[in-house]
Structure 1
């Protein structure tokens, strides 16, 4: 076992003892939550690059891609850790890497569920390309929570999360009003565009017909609903299968024959009565 370890350490390109092997193309930077913590956590950094022909709104050579960001490391804390490398323009945390897109629009804190806390990835944008190169050459360990910038944990973190879960009615009303204004504006633009396109033939000569101008349907009254239900009941009754079984069919035929015989006997009696009442009256 000792000889095998010596042989592995003697191989060219092998990491020296005590140094964590980082993924290919990444630089490992150790961080700690605080000075009291003994174990180190490692962030893996590399310059953000996309494949040739792929679109990305993140600026090339000025964006740093970070893997293995722990849950307690916020965007503010990550920006503070990398601030000595250069002026940080923006920091965005995501649940998974998405290289084909740029910064996302901020989501609503009221109508979007909060992500499950876990390890995430980050995109850090510097104002100059020198910041990316300086971040790749960082030596740790770096402290996330310091005396000047403490990160809440334990009971303090639970209290903060509970306070954040209580909604502010004024902020909620302001966001709802802003959403409705944007929706009304978009609806008005779509109606104006449809009104402008109505009656104008396209390249192939087709004319677009819209529903604008139709009278909106009036809500049904209770009497109208009852009439509709009665109509549906009669329709279902007509669709029901009569005499589905063979014994039902035989019984219906026998009942029909019995009614015919009864009617025949009644007709015979009526004819006999008429013959008995008939008399010869010459004058």
Structure 2
């Protein structure tokens, strides 16, 4: 397995770096004090023909092996020399199904991924992708002008960010509920339009929305239903109220089964005695 992976990997002749086939390697360092480099593997994001994608074609850069300390702001700053960056999004794994994405919430979002991630970087112009593929490093993540907090300072910042602004939270919740109410109203209106309208084959869609509970037609029928329910409820309440009643009921049932078995046995012997045809 290791030998196969080594064969599949391609070596960049200019940088002398082992990278996956179809990817270019960009070395990065956390700071100037770090001696060894970490590598980002990048390529142009492409999809199959006829497949819809939420990322713009020829302007999206797909990035692998993004370390945990490299945030979206850091990645945007590192790739900004290639061209103006429109957006950066970090994910735990690549998108398998290309579908439109809902906007992310500032307050209601899953916990951040602690390990390495992948990123989708969208440039404003296509030449930004080609410039990023030819980018050489090493690039510094944390600099004097743009320091990246780590250790206890990072924990303090994360705790401060975890406390939401009440007014901003209220605005986002109200916006979400308004959108949800509009969506439910549209679905209800659509269901009402479709209900009762025959389709191409002549079938009519019937839903539970327009059904009403069936009521008894006469007073006598209603009284019979109430009496039946009352008897059922009384039977459930009084049957086997105590444990000894439950055991007595079981013993009585077994005695009845034994008595019936004996009666059936005697009946069979009597039928055999009255049988006229005797083959032996």
State the TM-score, normalizing by the size of structure 2. Answer: 0.70
1:189 to 163, 186, 191: 186
Instruction: Give per-residue Cα distances to partners, 1:179-224, cap 9 Å, x unaligned.
Output: 222222122222222222232222122222333455689xxxxxxx
Alignment of 1:192-271 (within 5 A): 192-214=189-211, 230-231=233-234, 233-234=236-237, 243-246=252-255
Q: Does 2:83 correspond to 1:86?
A: yes
Aligned counterpart, 2:218: none
Q: Does 2:79 correspond to 1:70?
A: no
CA contact (8 A) 1:92 1:103 kept: no
Aligned mates of 2:97, 2:136 — CA distance in 1:
30
CA contact (8 A) 1:243 1:249 kept: no
Aligned mates of 2:199, 2:238 — CA distance in 1:
45
**Which protein has the larger Cα radius of gyration, Structure 1 or Structure 2?**
1
Aligned mates of 2:67, 2:110 — CA distance in 1:
20
Worse-superposed segment, 152-161 or 50-59: 50-59
Tell me by how many angstroms 1:97 deviates. Answer: 1.0
Aligned counterpart, 2:143: 146
Aligned counterpart, 2:105: 108
CA contact (8 A) 1:56 1:99 kept: no
Aligned mates of 1:249, 1:98 — CA distance in 2:
69
Q: What are structure 1's unaligned runs of at least 5 residues?
A: 1-12, 218-226, 254-283
CA contact (8 A) 1:95 1:119 kept: yes
Instruction: Give per-residue Cα distances to partners, 1:76-100, cap 9 Å, x unaligned.
Output: 1111111111121221111111154
Q: What are structure 2's unaligned runs of at least 5 residues?
A: 1-9, 215-229, 241-245, 263-280
State the TM-score, normalizing by the size of structure 1. Answer: 0.69
Aligned counterpart, 2:132: 135
Tell me by how many angstroms 1:46 deviates. Answer: 1.1
Aligned counterpart, 2:43: 46
Question: CA separation of 1:228/1:55 partners in 2, compared to 1, >3 Å: closer, same or farther?
Answer: farther
Tell me by how many angstroms 1:50 deviates. Answer: 2.3
Tell me by how many angstroms 1:27 deviates. Answer: 1.0
CA contact (8 A) 2:92 2:113 kept: no
SS of residue matched to 1:19: coil
Q: Does 2:155 correspond to 1:158?
A: yes
Tell me by how many angstroms 1:233 deviates. Answer: 1.5
Aligned counterpart, 1:278: none
For these two proteins, the number of residue pairs brought into alignment is: 230
Aligned mates of 1:228, 1:170 — CA distance in 2:
58
Aligned mates of 1:145, 1:112 — CA distance in 2:
26
Aligned counterpart, 2:169: 172
Tell me by how many angstroms 1:131 deviates. Answer: 1.1
Q: Does 2:115 correspond to 1:118?
A: yes
Q: Does 2:17 correspond to 1:20?
A: yes
Aligned mates of 1:18, 1:196 — CA distance in 2:
64
